[in-house]
Structure 1
Amino acid sequence: MLSTLEESGGCPISGALQTLSWSVLVLHSGVRSSVGPLMGVLLVSNMGAAIADVINDALVAESVQKERGKTKGELQSFVWLALAVGGVIGNFVGGLALSWMSSTTMFAIFAVFAAGHLLFSSFVKERSFNFKSLSRQRKKNIDLMEKSSSAIDVLKVQAARLMDLVTLPDIAMPLAWFAASYAVIPAMGGSIFYYQAQYLHIHPTYLGLAKVMGQMGLMAGSVLYNRYLKGSSPRKVLLAVQVLLSACMLSDIILVSRMNIRLGIPDHLFVLGASAFAEAIAQFKVLPFSVLLTQLCPSGSEGSLLAFFMSCHCLATILSGYSGTYVASMLHISVDNFTGLPMGIFIQSIAALIPLFWISCIPATTHKLAAV
């Protein structure tokens, strides 16, 4: 399916969808004040972003086929480092801009960036990335597209190949662990954010800086992984990340119980510390797992597998959000009542440790599988 998307110009489609959605927000103020139309526009924008992410993953996955020995994992680390740097700059500049720009102006800037993406991607072809040779599987995909008279036929064949791949035990078991490691955690981030903003009245500037600090943590984690951890056992790395994630989640109890005040730490400084890094750690976990999948995947199928993996990640995150909403409802957490929030944080932190019971699904060492 990745071959079909790439050859049909997926990046221009992505840019067009995002340009359209942000332009609508700029030109029609009524859309911004109505929940239904606003959700529709944001859905279109997110679809465009998702298409771009899929193609980026495919390009990275195809490029890492040339990595050998000590260079394995370096490209993914560099990509995550670039992502973190972009996040730091974007959150910092965006936080400053919000203090003197209207939302309409901000939406217009987003639309201009999306239009630039559309223009640039329209002139960039996959062959310009100078891949020296196509894999045997990739050549089969292209030959199939040339011979087939129907895109549906191509998608059916590609979907069947993807199913054959993801049902392999060596692929299915790690994928199941990773998806479950997110899905079993009831996400309390929304409740914690409302507590910080509505109850503690922490200035939005500090909440924005917390995002910047989290992205800086992600940047540091990417460098640390590339230098010291990429050769380590993937099972040990993911186990350590999961434990660290649980600890950072649990640290929010210090804020909710007001223990930080007794320790002389102001609220706005505390959110710039451990509270800011839980989200960054959850993002960082994708890096070692994507490296693991690339090492396990048969040559020629990396792009499709990485795209499927990110889809599983998104689905697991959605399930985590819904379960977090359910837990918040059961504990009667609302904008006016945060008495149950410490228990919600504790449940979230303990749930983050549950995947450790089946950490054996992650291989201690890796080996490349034969082509499907």
Structure 2
Amino acid sequence: MEEENQEDPCSESMEEDESKRGVWDCFCIPINWFSMLSREMHWSFVFGVVVVYGISQGLGGALAEVGTKYYMKDVQKVQPSEAQIYKGITSIPWIVKPLWGLLTDVLPFFGYRRRPYFIFAGFIGVIAMLLLSLHENLHLVLALLALTAGSAGGAIADVTIDACVAQNSISQPSLAADMQSLCAFSLSVGSLIGYFISGIFVHFLGPMGVFGLMTIPAGLVISVGFLLYEPRMHNTSYTQVKQNFIDAGKAMWTTLRSEDVWGPCLYMYLSLALSLDIREGMFYWYTDSKGGPSFSQESVGFIFSISSVGALLGAILYQYALKDYAFRNLLFWTQLIYGLSGMLDLILVSRLNLKFGIPDYFFVVIVESIAKMTNRLKWMPMLVLSSKLCPSGIEGTFFALLMSIDNVGLLSASWGGGFVLHMLRITRTKFDNIWLAILIRNILRIAPLWLLFLVPRADRSSSILPCKSMNSEVAIDPSDTKNVELVSLVHSVDGK
């Protein structure tokens, strides 16, 4: 008995050390992961992703989203269906991403292909946000133009980082899912912080004050243009730009004609277009003092902040549990869960949650968290699949083309949702038929399950493109191809 008593303190101390070591290991996992990505793909790539996805699109996007909702509702005083249409208009710059991608691939300025576009994108964002924040009685048309210009700045910065992700996914296919996880992780953390502070800033500064704060993320995008490493090209021939555009267009058309490419593209568009976006109508209902829960500005920000944890959990779940599954199997379950989870909104608008003793605030957090998690789980395999469809040589342009197809789907969903809200006569103060809009949306969310035959059964480690599409004939000045980090993405990977 004495020996057992003497051994107990030692065993307890060993268990404590192991538990401390376990906590420390969990803390070190993301740090080691970031270090690995920085080693494999250079720290400048990781830096660019964090700034563009985490700060500009994540934090800045969250501030802009909440600020724009209240700007349209309280300053411009538009109807929910109109706000849904205007939201689609401001997203148009994301639809023409192939143009930005093509410009960054074939049209350098002052010997650089990346830096000028980051700087240009940042300046557009700064000017647009200053106009919105300083002009008190800005006409609706001018406000839409400013919001669209700010969206264009974000799209131009985004397409450059997307090009880097696409090229690195081809050169290092084993890290393709890790790169998408890095993008998703940065976006989720930035969104979490942005939504958390958005309601507070809207309350104390107003929507226009929030637009003023948006100049900070845009300014950081400018800093990316100055800080990112990019070898300067010498003897740039602008006479070849026209031919480069033609060659890139031919390469994209040849790739799109392949059944292995147009099938997944069609599925991605339809799966997004059929998921009608009625979030503006739900936002107006959230803040309504009669029929809705009448959430305050701070409450709306906190709800979006807490629910963005769901998107972060979705990214983590995909990275550590689901990334090795075949695309078709994963998309089946995520699309099904995405459609069924939307039924929770019916419980909310019918106020059944109150009959079960569940407060509106708590139930909305659950609904929004599940929606964002399932949406992220549905979105990430499509991003990895998109990176697999890019032919070498025009990675930036073609990945931008695929993303623009997705954005056309989102635009279709936004305008389709606005049409449904208008037809059901859902206004700023009338929400009698909002349950029907939710039901229509949920039924259409499940419809893409019958289109999964368009998606290949391949997984993230498989090669999807036909051999003849793997290498593009587009090649511009291949002399500076030793570094693949943020150099021109029109260079062939084989020419490193």
Mark yes or no: TM-score above 0.5.
yes
Write out per-residue CA displacement over residues 154-211 of structure 1, whole angstroms, 9 at most, x where no aligned residue: 3232222222222211011001001111112322222122111113212232222222
Aligned twin of 1:293: 386
Bigger Cα Rg: 2
Q: 1:72 and 1:322, CA in 2 relative to 1: closer, same or farther beyond 3 A?
A: closer
Residue 309 (structure 1) aligned with residue 402 (structure 2)? yes
Aligned twin of 2:128: 21
> Contact 1:177 / 1:358 at 8 angstroms: preserved in 2?
yes
Paired residue type of 2:106? T
Out of 152, 157, 163, the residue aligned to residue 47 of structure 1 is 152
CA distance in 2, matches of 1:150, 1:27: 43
Shift of 1:73: 0.9
Q: 1:318 and 1:5, CA in 2 relative to 1: closer, same or farther beyond 3 A?
A: farther
Instruction: Give the 5 Å matches for 1:1-372.
Output: 1=102, 2-4=104-106, 7=113, 9-31=116-138, 34-69=139-174, 71-127=175-231, 146-149=236-239, 151-198=241-288, 199-200=291-292, 201-365=294-458, 366-369=462-465, 370=467, 371=470, 372=472
Write out per-residue CA displacement over residues 93-151 of structure 1, whole angstroms, 9 at most, x where no aligned residue: 222223333444433322233223213413424349xxxxxxxxxxxxx99x9455164
> Contact 2:311 / 2:369 at 8 angstroms: preserved in 1?
no
Paired residue type of 1:79? C
CA distance in 2, matches of 1:234, 1:110: 37
Between 1:173-182 and 1:87-96, the stretch displaced more is 87-96
CA distance in 1, matches of 2:179, 2:412: 30
Instruction: Say what the alpha-carbon RMSD is for the aligned residues.
Output: 2.3
Write out per-residue CA displacement over residues 16-74 of structure 1, whole angstroms, 9 at most, x where no aligned residue: 1101111222333333xx101101111111111111111111111122234344x4411
CA distance in 2, matches of 1:78, 1:296: 20
| Identity percentage of aligned residues | 24
Q: 1:127 and 1:362, CA in 2 relative to 1: closer, same or farther beyond 3 A?
A: farther
Instruction: Extract unaligned runs of 5+ from structure 1.
Output: 129-141
> Contact 2:269 / 2:409 at 8 angstroms: preserved in 1?
yes
Q: 1:25 and 1:5, CA in 2 relative to 1: closer, same or farther beyond 3 A?
A: farther
Q: 1:324 and 1:11, CA in 2 relative to 1: closer, same or farther beyond 3 A?
A: same
> Contact 2:281 / 2:426 at 8 angstroms: preserved in 1?
yes
Secondary structure of 2:427's partner? coil
Paired residue type of 2:120? I
Paired residue type of 2:298? T
CA distance in 2, matches of 1:319, 1:106: 28
CA distance in 2, matches of 1:155, 1:233: 35
Secondary structure of 2:137's partner? helix
TM-score by length of 2: 0.67
> Contact 2:389 / 2:464 at 8 angstroms: preserved in 1?
yes
CA distance in 2, matches of 1:185, 1:231: 26
Paired residue type of 1:295? K
Paired residue type of 1:175? C
Paired residue type of 2:299? Y
> Contact 2:426 / 2:433 at 8 angstroms: preserved in 1?
yes
Shift of 1:90: 1.2
Q: 1:364 and 1:283, CA in 2 relative to 1: closer, same or farther beyond 3 A?
A: same
TM-score by length of 1: 0.88
